[in-house]
Structure 1
Amino acid sequence: MLEKGENKEYLPIEGLAAFNKATAELLLGADNAALQEGRVATVQGLSGTGSLRLAAAFIQRYFPEAKALISSPTWGNHKNIFNDARVPWSEYRYYDPRTVGLDFDGMIADIKAAPDGSFVLLHGCAHNPTGIDPTPEQWEKIADVIQEKNHVPFFDVAYQGFASGSLDEDASSVRTFVARGMELLVAQSYSKNLGLYAERIGAINVVCSSPDAATRVKSQLKRLARPMYSNPPVHGARIVANVVGNPTLFNEWKEEMELMAGRIKNVRQKLFDSLSQKDKSGKDWSFILKQIGMFSFTGLNKAQSDNMTNKWHVYMTKDGRISLAGLSLSKCEYLADAIIDSFHNVS
């Protein structure tokens, strides 16, 4: 069935209305005040990448003096996106190699030092590539500093529901900022949590201070999208809208996300147990359990990562990131042997 005003061939520039409503409600919660007050501009984008790129174009055009702040490290395409949109960026400290954890003090210091009104790119959950997320208390402190500096939060939410198994828990960072009445941007992707990789389904949401501002922002996002790609794809958007709108399908989806998130947690636990039992050096491997999502930063350097590949035939990125989604329980002990050998025998 076509929606009122929908072309049978093309979607409107802003995308499928049912999808936009569903995705904003999944992100913020259907009873969120910003949604009820009409302060959220949502435009369907070409998955997470296209949504980020559309937002970057918006920043470049309407905030030409603004700078973006990106975590060190971050998903490799973030830098490409801002470069292509001609938005200047710098990095804020995030990963601490000494603890294989979050350099929270460095992060706060760098956000404080940035020019007022900067756009701070934040990973909503399951930070890629590290798997290291701030605690709820740390998110509150981050929000404090961003408000003090009049910065604009820009969230990338690529794994909602797929990290913890809970749609609400994985969106809690974004909701913390929205509850403070802050204006912010959020890019979403359904590639991982619904497996819609090839359909390129996502959205950019801009939470504004007023309904009038949201109307104006949406109009300008559409104006930018028109020469970029004109219209977003329809089939994946209908899948999202149908799954979310059907209680049976919605519950089945949530159960499957819980199952997949639970499987990755089990793999994390098995890998931690194997490392702890096999490594007699006393090294603390607990960071494996503290990280969340598909990826784990092992703390291995390039030479050690090369050893993993050349000697053990474990293929991973050169920064020490492994994908736990591709690891089975039966291979955890072998991986532990490879990590221990690489960590202790290769400098």
Structure 2
Amino acid sequence: MAAPRPLEHDLTKEAEDLLARFSGEYVIKYSLNRFEARMLLLEAVSSRFGGFDYLEYQNEFNKSCEKHILADILNKSEKLVSLIATIPIPPQIILSILSRENLIENDRKLTGAYHTDFRLAKRIANQCISNNKVNPTSKVIDPACGTGILLVALTIEICGKDRNIANSWLQNSIYACDLSSNSLRGALLSLAAFTNDLCILKIMRGHWFCGDSLIQNDLFWNNLNKDGFDAVIGNPPWEKIKITKHEFLKSSGIKRHYGQSTEAFIGDEFREKQNAIAKYNKKLLTRYPSLGFGEPDLYIAFTELFSGFVERVE
């Protein structure tokens, strides 16, 4: 049976198809890789919604292409902007959705990464602002932010359409971490659509960290923000950290029949991954006692990390 299709897939399908077509054209025309072409297009779309200078943005954050290529991409992005404007989801949310990396099954098993539905993001953001729990001066962190959909949703709830509040919020309040630099690039372009000020984006990006938030110590978090955080927002990764022979073979593109031995296919790469995971598990078990013994569950580890942030605030 086919997996159920998310509502956001139906709502963003036309934009996704157009983005894929344009990206494919630039792969051929300028020999860009497909992901880079896609992100350059989305950053151009963001610049049109935010009002910032696209070429200066690229020079500040990416330094990836010649000016005539960027000018071509910016011109092409106008059609995407027009289409996105017709979708009944805020454009910044759509940018976050379209910025996501495709996750193969083994990636999910190893990192616990799953995408957050835009409706869940809106609900979590709404709960954050209820009873003034989070306000425009709060400092908020998402320790596993992905392409920033929760931070985007919270920005919408906090700032509405007030650019002055949004500028202050982006500059002073948003902290983020993720394992993937590609995801953080998506988060930046999604949040950039709220402002026309590149200086603010540069300051905000300085509050972010690309790496594993689970293994950072208290000194790291104090250095990231010595005053602590008023709130933690997140839909953290969840999986037991392990890799099976079946998953490894599937991710490697090796097909086999049920009942067929895996031994002929298993080599040093699989054993190296197993050893790396075992070492990581040991490190997590030392840092997060609530994990107990056996295969650590990422969700439990993140829950304990979140609790630690709250305790520091209190």
TM above 0.5, yes or no, is no
Considering fraction of residues, name the structure with more strand. 1
* TM class, shorter-length: under 0.3
With normalisation by structure 2, the TM-score equals 0.28
Considering fraction of residues, name the structure with more helix. 2
With normalisation by structure 1, the TM-score equals 0.26
Bigger RCO of structures 1 and 2 (CA < 8 A, at least 6 apart): 1
